Every structure is written in structure tokens, then in C-alpha cells.
Amino acid sequence: MNTNFLKSENDNDNNEKLDKNSESIKEFGNMGVVNPNERIRVLPIIGQVEGHVVSPAQTKATKYEHVIPQLIEMEQNENVKGVLIVLNTVGGDVEAGLGIAEMINSLSKPTVSIVIGGGHSIGVPLATSAKYSFITPSATMIVHPIRMNGFIIGVSQTFEYLKKMQERINEFIVRTSDIKKEELEKLLRQQGDLLNDVGTILIGNQAVECGLINEVGGLKEAISKLNTLIDENE
């Protein structure tokens, strides 16, 4: 038997796996797609949430067509016991973000989210979609009404569409967090807190005090809580 030949084949296989891992990190931000054996799967949602319209090339974006297959794979993979969602997003496509949030919330496995820089706009329901949520002390969350840009038809149906879309988002946030509906609507309508806009910016513990987020903490606390939820689930 030619051991050098076998060693060469093994080296080639390892190099191919490394190439796949590198490509996975580049495209998805984690190695879970090609390494299905880890106990905790990390799902990063970074930059702008990209939906039906492609973001400009210079914009850092999380594509919903990448996230959805990952969530389906996590649900079906018996080796994955829990999911850590890491958020640093400015928001983005409302329907895409809300769709991802609903899928995270419907996972049968324990989920923990952590807002590390910002969880703005549609990032709010993404943060509350997990079974338990954290925010770092310096991280921020911006709560504001949805808005549209570009060509808009100025008819009453457009207003009704925006109203119903806002109601869908509000219902989800109230359902998946401890905030009261009245408090959420107050934060949405508040004036003077944001430049040239209505809404509210919440920093660290403020997001916990109003009930949006469960706890202030960092990576250590988030992973510890997720491990606890996994042990309880088993």
C-alpha cells in the first residue's frame, strides 16, 4: 500500500474542508453550514437585513436567502442543541426581517440573542425573537415607526398598508418580550429623542427596564444562559 498516496489524499480532503470553511465564513459568518457537529450554532445578523432588493455593493448585509436555509438546517440537525443569535444591525427590509424573526421564534431548540452593537429598527423583533435576550451595556436599540422611501403612491391604501405592517411588528414584539403594548407605542411616537425622526433610542439597561430585553450581559452570560436552557430542554 502506498502510504504517501493515502497521506496526499487525506491532505487534499483537509484542504478542501478548509476551503469550504473559509467560503462559509465569508458568505454566512460562521462554520456551521459545513460543520454540523457543534452543540451551539451561532447565527450572526450583521449590517443591513437584505430582502427582495439587493443592497449596494459597499453595504455590509445579511441576506435572508442565506439565513432561512441555515435555520431550517439547525431545526433538523440533531447535533445542534441550541442557537446563539448575535445582532449588530441597522435594520433593513421589514418583511424579510420579520420573516426571519418568526422562524427563529418557531425553532424547537433553545435560542438566546445578544445585541452587541445595535439592534435598530427591524433588529428589535429579531432581538426579541429568541427565548432569552441579552444586550451589552454600551449597545443601543432604536425603536421607531416603519417608513418607506422611493416612489410611493399617495392614496389611502398606502397608509393602511403601513398601518397594518406596523401592527404586525408591534404584535410580534409584544408577544415575544415583556414590554406592554402601550409602552411600545409610546416609544414609537416619542419626539425629540432622535434627530429628524420620531422614536426612541435605548442604551443597554434602558432596553431591559422597558421590557424589550431580558438582561444586560455579554458573551459569557449569553453562552451560560444558552447552556442552561439546553440542559433544561434535555
Q: Coil, strand or helix: which one is 224?
A: helix
Residue 147 has pLDDT above 90, yes or no: no
Show the cell assigned to 27.
Answer: 458568505
User: How high is the pLDDT of residue 234?
Assistant: 82
Question: Looking at this protein, which amino acid is placed at residue 159?
Answer: F
For 139, the 3-state DSSP assignment is coil
Categorize the per-residue pLDDT at 155 as very low, low, confident or very high, splitting at 50, 70 and 90: low
Mean pLDDT in residue range 74-96: 93
Q: Which of 2-6, 57-61, 104-108, 125-129 has the lowest mean pLDDT?
A: 2-6
Q: What is the pLDDT of residue 54?
A: 81
Is residue 20's pLDDT more than 70? Answer: no
Q: Where are the alpha helices (DSSP H) in the chain?
A: 3-28, 64-76, 94-105, 123-128, 156-176, 181-189, 205-209, 219-233
pLDDT at 24: 53
- By annotation, the residues acting in catalysis are 121, 144
Per-position DSSP letters for 4-56, written without gaps between them: HHHHHHHHHHHHHHHHHHHHHHHHHSSSTTT-TT-SEEEEEEEEEEE-SSPPP
User: Which residues make beta-bridge pairs with 48?
Assistant: 61, 91
| In the chain, % of residues over pLDDT 70 | 77
**pLDDT confidence tier of residue 224, bands split at 50, 70 and 90:** very high
Least confident of 62-71, 75-84, 148-157, 173-182: 148-157
Which residues have a Cβ under 8 Å from the Cβ of 126 and sit 6 or more positions away? 45, 49, 85, 87, 89, 97, 100, 101, 104, 113, 119
Residue 31 has pLDDT above 60, yes or no: no
pTM > 0.85: no
Residues 6+ apart with CB under 8 A from 66: 27, 28
The confidence score (pLDDT) of residue 56 equals: 79
* Chain segment 101-140, per-residue pLDDT in tens: 999 999 999 999 999 999 999 999 999 999 999 999 999 9
Q: Which amino acid is at 81?
A: K
Residue with cell 398606502: 158
**Mean model confidence pLDDT for the chain:** 84
